[in-house]
């Protein structure tokens, strides 16, 4: 017996298989979970320490496999080598209150190395008064998303649906390697302590949790939720990994999976093989002929990695069902066609000409299809019907914009984000423009007329503090939008960049706030069809070389019919700037912009970001922290140190009180943008007056700079037959930072 075992080991070693991938002393299961390489439960059996699986043999019943996180043991319930997936049990985060306040809080987090959070999971929160967030690492960036669940009773709850009433859920961003869940409450559960005063949040594989109203009353927080992790080998992709290195795992009968986009790489068995592609002998030949449905009409012959079909004697062909099959042999007359060189060249030229001609024709047809699909004919009719005004939107061709951007060269990129990419372009008349290529799904037919209406109206807006829409290109699947170019970056860059923030003094910041308020007041009140921006934030306020504010990015804007004061919409915006009343009711009004502008005002004199999970919990939400600081008389302590103030000027106190009014929870208690603009104009005028009297004539240039006319004349030229129907040119965009329900 010992001799047989010794000979077996020698034979394996002679074949070069005595590596960690094929050791005989490795454990290949723990309980009912299979452990396959690159995973292993002891030293020498796994690829790297990140793939170490510990088998708890001491547990009652079946042994339990787990791997170690930074702070806990993560139980594994299933592993799939061919798909690169692992199913684990994940903890539930909870936040409980009693009549005295928070009573108990449990957090849930996970820190991974070679594993990623699969997009098959959903982030779910349940509770009567719950705000749940998940923050995670995506490469070198930290991203945050979340959802809100609010419920007064169980009357409107739908079992099995996480729509935001009692339960909310969102998709998980792709590629997160580390995450932490946090939960909060707007009212500390004070209104619903008689029910379940707790909120819960967890990650779970889609389809593995069904919400029930019973969970609001008696949810077991100690239960574990099944979630899925993706895994891969190392950090190199298939294109960058050294395939000749000894530690490259895709050996014989396997290959690097090009369909996996990393980070890291995965192996898969070649066609005709199956098994574990991470071991030297893991991928074994599939005997297709054992399957009765092999597809051969007569005889199936298995080969290494493939199979062949043979016809019976006297027949020929590929022998496959669905192919040429097997047919009787016939005596064939050998016919040799001798073609001249000229004929061959003529045929080649004819085929080439035909190929490129058909390709060009198809391209023209495709452009015409996109042009019509995006409402090009309708836009041309609108421009023609309005007399072809100089201020009307221009319809550019795809060639014009390719030439303007040097065929969208990467050196022309001036901005990139979730909505798309912005390029700097130079038109044929030497105008410098910004060209936006959006990442949007295909428009539905019902949105085409609305998109065209908004393009026509926005192109006619001629306000010194609104970025002008010059035109669009409709010959691509998603329309390209062309805007005037603003050279000095965003307000956010200047507030939060230490080297730039010193240059924008309080006087300049006050003027920027005033100009922004005037632009929003114009959009709300002076435009023929009122426009609600819906995403006011420093990132969407551009500055020119003279620090003149330009409101930009109307991708989420909505136009409100004249006979309506509010509009039901899907909640969109940026976390930290969203109107809480809008989040709760989904009713969009012009007061939603007022709230967002109030947050911008607060950023201007504090220099802090609207939302930051790097700050202490009570300071994370700037609006709430500002209101509490103002109430407690701590305004000076939160002012931006780059303003270099020894005391709080009266105008900052006035602006802070205005911001306080803008940040009222109830929209009807907030001022209108027109009232806000008038108040800021008054404050700015007092600052200018103070400069003129205090500084005298020695600083006339600075006074003149501040005296730039905030109410400079502007035009609003509305074309004939402009529809007042509600529309949204970028309605296909979806804002991810927060969602009301699913």
**C-beta contacts of 71-75 below 8 A and 24+ residues apart:** 71/109, 71/111, 74/110, 75/224
CA 585 from centre of chain? 24
- Give dist(CA 339, CA 327) in Å, integer: 30
For residue 174, report the phi and psi dihedrals to the nearest 5 degrees.
Answer: -75, 135
**Residue in 535, 553, 579, 640 annotated catalytic:** 535
Structure tokens at 474: 């409709």
Question: Contact 424/414 with Cβ under 8 angstroms?
Answer: yes
CB atoms within 10 A of CB 27: 15
- Give dist(CA 98, CA 76) in Å, integer: 35
Q: In 502-572, which residue ranges form alpha helices assigned H by DSSP?
A: 506-521
- Give dist(CA 391, CA 458) in Å, integer: 10
Task: Verify whether residue 593 is a known catalytic residue.
Answer: no
Contact residues for 697 (Cβ-Cβ < 8 A; gap 6+): none
- Give dist(CA 502, CA 494) in Å, integer: 9
- Give dist(CA 209, CA 225) in Å, integer: 8
What order do you get walking across the sheet with 469-473 strand by strand? 394-396, 469-473, 480-484, 432-438, 420-426, 413-417
Secondary structure class of 567 (helix, strand, coil): strand
- Give dist(CA 449, CA 48) in Å, integer: 58
Question: Contact 523/533 with Cβ under 8 angstroms?
Answer: yes
Structure tokens at 66: 């787990």
Give 349's strand partners: none
- Side-chain-side CA neighbours of 158 within 13 Å: the count stands at 7
Which H helix or E strand runs over 656?
A: helix 650-662
Q: Indicate the burial class of 63 (C-beta count within 10 angstroms; 0-12, 13-18, 19 or more).
A: middle
Place of tokens 């027109």: 674
Structure tokens at 242: 């050294």
CB atoms within 10 A of CB 61: 6
Sign of CA dihedral 227, 233, 236, 237: negative
Contact residues for 644 (Cβ-Cβ < 8 A; gap 6+): none
Strand residue runs (E) in 107-166: 108-111, 115-117, 121-126, 129-138, 141-150
**C-beta contacts of 184-187 below 8 A and 24+ residues apart:** 184/95, 184/130, 184/131, 184/132, 184/133, 185/95, 185/97, 185/127, 185/129, 185/130, 185/131, 186/129, 186/131, 186/580, 187/129
CA 130 from centre of chain? 23
User: Which positions are catalytic?
Assistant: 535
């Amino acid at each position: 017996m010992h001799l047989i075992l010794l000979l077996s080991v020698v034979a394996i070693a002679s074949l070069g298989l005595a590596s960690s991938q094929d050791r005989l002393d490795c454990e290949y299961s723990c309980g009912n979970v299979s452990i396959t390489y690159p995973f292993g439960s002891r030293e020498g059996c796994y690829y790297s320490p990140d793939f170490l699986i510990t088998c708890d043999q001491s547990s009652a019943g079946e042994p339990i496999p787990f791997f170690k996180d930074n702070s806990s043991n993560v139980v594994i319930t299933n592993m799939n080598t061919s798909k690169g997936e692992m199913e684990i049990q994940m903890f539930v985060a909870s936040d409980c209150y009693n009549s005295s306040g928070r009573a108990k809080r449990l957090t849930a987090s996970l820190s991974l190395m070679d594993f990623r959070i699969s997009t098959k999971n959903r982030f779910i929160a349940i509770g009567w008064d719950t705000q749940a967030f998940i923050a995670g690492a995506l490469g070198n960036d930290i991203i945050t998303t979340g959802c809100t669940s609010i419920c007064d009773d169980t009357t409107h709850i739908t079992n099995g649906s996480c729509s935001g009433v009692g339960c909310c859920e969102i998709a998980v961003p792709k590629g997160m390697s580390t995450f932490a869940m946090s939960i909060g409450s707007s009212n500390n559960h004070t209104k619903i302590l008689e029910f379940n005063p707790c909120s819960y949040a967890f990650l779970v594989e889609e389809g593995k949790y069904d919400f029930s109203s019973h969970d609001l009353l008696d949810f077991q927080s100690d239960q574990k939720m099944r979630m899925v992790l993706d895994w891969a080998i190392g950090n190199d992709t298939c294109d960058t990994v050294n395939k000749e290195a000894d530690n490259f795992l895709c050996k014989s009968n396997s290959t690097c999976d090009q369909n996996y986009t990393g980070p890291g790489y995965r192996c898969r068995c070649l066609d005709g093989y199956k098994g574990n592609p991470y071991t030297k002998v893991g991928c074994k030949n599939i005997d297709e002929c054992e399957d009765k449905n092999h597809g051969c009409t007569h005889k199936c012959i298995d080969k290494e990695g493939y199979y062949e079909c043979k016809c019976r004697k006297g027949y020929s062909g590929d022998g496959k069902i669905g192919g040429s099959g097997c047919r009787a042999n016939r005596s064939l007359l050998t016919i040799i066609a001798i073609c001249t060189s000229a004929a061959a060249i003529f045929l080649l030229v004819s085929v080439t000409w035909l190929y490129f001609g058909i390709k060009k024709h198809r391209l023209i047809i495709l452009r015409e299809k996109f042009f019509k699909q995006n409402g090009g004919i309708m836009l041309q009719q609108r421009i023609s019907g309005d007399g072809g005004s100089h201020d009307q939107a221009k319809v550019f061709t795809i060639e014009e914009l390719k030439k303007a951007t040097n065929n969208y060269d990467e050196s022309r990129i001036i901005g990139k984000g979730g909505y798309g990419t912005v390029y700097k372009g130079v038109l044929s008349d030497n105008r410098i423009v910004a060209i936006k290529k959006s990442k949007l799904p295909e428009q539905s037919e019902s949105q085409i007329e609305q998109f065209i209406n908004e393009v026509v109206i926005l192109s006619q807006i001629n306000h010194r503090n609104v970025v002008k829409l010059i035109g669009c290109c409709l010959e691509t699947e998603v329309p390209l939008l062309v805007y005037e170019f603003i050279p000095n970056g965003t307000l956010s860059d200047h507030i939060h960049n230490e080297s730039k923030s010193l240059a924008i003094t309080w006087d300049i910041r006050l003027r920027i706030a005033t100009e922004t308020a005037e632009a929003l007041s114009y959009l709300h009140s002076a435009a023929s069809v009122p426009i609600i921006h819906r995403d006011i934030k420093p990132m969407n306020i551009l500055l020119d070389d003279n620090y003149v504010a330009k409101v930009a990015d109307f991708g989420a804007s909505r136009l409100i019919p004249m006979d309506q004061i509010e509009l039901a919409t899907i909640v969109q915006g940026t976390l930290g700037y969203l109107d809480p009343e809008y989040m709760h009711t989904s009713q969009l009004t012009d007061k939603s912009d007022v709230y967002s502008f109030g947050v911008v005002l607060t950023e201007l004199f504090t220099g802090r970001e609207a939302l930051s999970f790097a700050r202490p919990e009570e300071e994370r939400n700037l609006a709430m922290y500002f209101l509490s600081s103002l109430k407690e008389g701590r305004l000076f302590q939160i002012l931006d140190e780059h303003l270099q103030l020894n005391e709080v000027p009266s105008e900052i106190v006035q602006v802070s009180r205005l911001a306080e009014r803008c940040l009222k929870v109830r929209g009807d208690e907030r001022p209108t943008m027109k009232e806000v603009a008038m108040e800021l104009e008054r404050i700015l005028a007092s600052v200018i007056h103070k400069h003129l009297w205090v500084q005298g004539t020695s600083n006339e240039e600075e006074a003149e700079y501040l005296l730039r006319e905030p109410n400079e004349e502007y035009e609003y030229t509305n074309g004939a037959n402009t529809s007042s129907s509600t529309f949204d040119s970028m309605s296909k965009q979806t804002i991810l930072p927060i969602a009301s329900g699913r």
